[in-house]
Amino acid sequence: MTDLLFTRVRLLDPASGLDRPGALLVRDGAILDFGGALGQPAGAEVIDGAGAVLCPGLVDLRAALGEPGFEYRETIDSAALAAAAGGITTIAVLPDSRPAIDDPALVQFLRARGDATGSLTLLPYGAVTRGCRGEALAEFGLLREAGAIAFSDGARAIGPASLMRRALSYARGFGARIVQHPEEPSLAADGAATEGELATRLGLPGIPACAEAIMVARDIHLAELTGGMVHFSRLSTAAALDLVRAAKSRGLPVTCDTAPPYFALNEMAIGEFRSYAKLSPPLRAEADRAAVAAALADGTIDAVVSDHQPRDADDKRLPFAEAAPGGAGLATLLAVTLAEVHGGRLSLTRAVALLTAAPAALFGIAAGRLQKGAPADLCLFHLDRAWRVVAGELPGKAQNTPFDGRALEGRVIGTWKAGRRVFG
């Protein structure tokens, strides 16, 4: 493998606070050196960044990839294309596939499938319950041993308080987090949109926004009771964020993430029954969207995840309440997050931290940093380059973006996995 030298890049490593113009040298797939100026080894391939940002490859803590079981929506290979185009080199994969990831062999299978792409590290979640059916606990110990990074039932909330209590308690023995879909299921049943004026006008069954805070409040109590670690994925309301903020200030092992739709869109994106804007949790009122954006900046939110949920046209071209919820998110993860930077609400370092070092640190993933000797998982992006999201023209198979038509600033121009260029 020839050496790879990035020159004239803006080196950005949130973990170490590094943000300076410079160069970075890759040898044998690992970062050999970086700094203000580096000598050019003979025969090195030179990438002239012309001022673009070079940061760690993005670490996405939440994506469904369609495989196994829903290959018509997305496969690991097609998701790998989308991820590479989005600058993502590590993905935590949800376990609610078909079959569910409730067996150690399936964890190993997914990790191997990721490695086989050559562009992506796949880190599977283990199921909290067998089949993600919400009944009997899965084998946390064996799943963890096989490489499950945390436990989740995917899009399904862990409903009964007694079950959540046991899951938190048992997972604690293995040092693993329980990742909750923060929505009280009995209030969310059959709902298609956030309860309120818009849902009332459209005649859509509503989910009260407090279904989120109710679940978050309960699980914070259960985390305190058991000493287990809970992580709330895709928080979308001010009330739930307030609860997490308060729990953190008390030192409880409570963390959370959100996804770009919840700080970049509000419920009005549904318009007249646009099913591509049907997500779970549903898009919220403007005040909640603003609260999510604020919580990115103040540290309440620990990570931004793609929440990639591939759907095909047949899943979506249905009357709104019957359409499958979920949006494609890999290719737009970085640029939609950067909109917060361009809007002056978030520093570039914090934005990139939320996509790299912070999620990696949450789950103890060895990625998300510019570190000498570490695999050269890198993302090179142009901070200001404008582009437009067009459903139908996204990389990968899934085209169900809630951001269709949106103009964005900030574009990935190259992605490297262990020193090998996988995009751009």
* Structural element, H or E, at residue 385: strand 378-388
Sole window of 195-203, 217-225, 398-406, 407-415 interacting with another protein (rule: CB under 8 A): 195-203
Residue 208 interacting with another protein (CB under 8 A) = yes
| Residue number with CB closer to another protein (207 or 362) | 207
Residue 186 interacting with another protein (CB under 8 A) = no
Q: Where are the beta strands (DSSP E) in 64-141?
A: 88-93, 121-124, 126-127
Residue 206 interacting with another protein (CB under 8 A) = yes
| Residue number with CB closer to another protein (16 or 200) | 200
Least distance in angstroms from the C-beta of 400 to another protein: 15
Please answer whether residues 288 and 209 qualify as being in contact, where contact means their C-beta atoms are separated by less than 8 angstroms. yes
* CA–CA dist 321, 156 (Å, integer): 18
Characterize the bridge pairing of strands 254-258 and 303-304. Answer: parallel
List the one residue from 96, 102, 183, 195 that touches another protein (CB under 8 A).
195
Helix 286-298 to helix 333-342 angle (10° resolution) is 90
Q: List residues bridging with 206 in a β-sheet.
A: 193
* CA–CA dist 53, 383 (Å, integer): 7
- Selecting among 13, 219, 288, 307, the annotated active-site residue is 307
| Residue number with CB closer to another protein (127 or 199) | 199
* CA–CA dist 167, 161 (Å, integer): 10
- Under rule CB under 8 A, which residues in 245-304 are in contact with another protein? 272-273
* CA–CA dist 56, 354 (Å, integer): 12
Residue 190 interacting with another protein (CB under 8 A) = no
| Residue number with CB closer to another protein (294 or 321) | 321
Least distance in angstroms from the C-beta of 14 to another protein: 41
In the annotation, is 307 catalytic? Answer: yes
Vertex 395: Cα angle to 371 and 337 (nearest 5): 55
Write the interaction track for another protein spanning residues 307-336; mark x where CB under 8 A is met and - where it is not. Answer: -------x--xxxxxx--------------
- Identity at 334, one-letter amino acid code: L
Sole window of 99-107, 205-213, 243-251, 287-295 interacting with another protein (rule: CB under 8 A): 205-213
List the one residue from 99, 196, 239, 242 that touches another protein (CB under 8 A).
196
* CA–CA dist 113, 129 (Å, integer): 23
Please answer whether residues 238 and 293 qualify as being in contact, where contact means their C-beta atoms are separated by less than 8 angstroms. no
| Residue number with CB closer to another protein (135 or 197) | 197
List the one residue from 201, 344, 373, 392 that touches another protein (CB under 8 A).
201
Least distance in angstroms from the C-beta of 262 to another protein: 20
Total chain residues near another protein (CB under 8 A): 21
Calculate the CA 127 to chain-centre distance. Answer: 17
Is 146 buried (19+), middle (13-18) or exposed (0-12) by CB count in 10 A?
buried
* CA–CA dist 268, 285 (Å, integer): 8
Looking at 229-347, list the stretches that DSSP marks H as alpha helix, in order from N- to C-terminal side: 238-249, 260-264, 286-298, 313-316, 333-342
Least distance in angstroms from the C-beta of 239 to another protein: 16
| Residue number with CB closer to another protein (201 or 250) | 201
Interaction site with another protein (CB under 8 A): 195-197, 199-206, 208, 272-273, 314, 317-322
Q: Which residues are catalytic?
A: 307
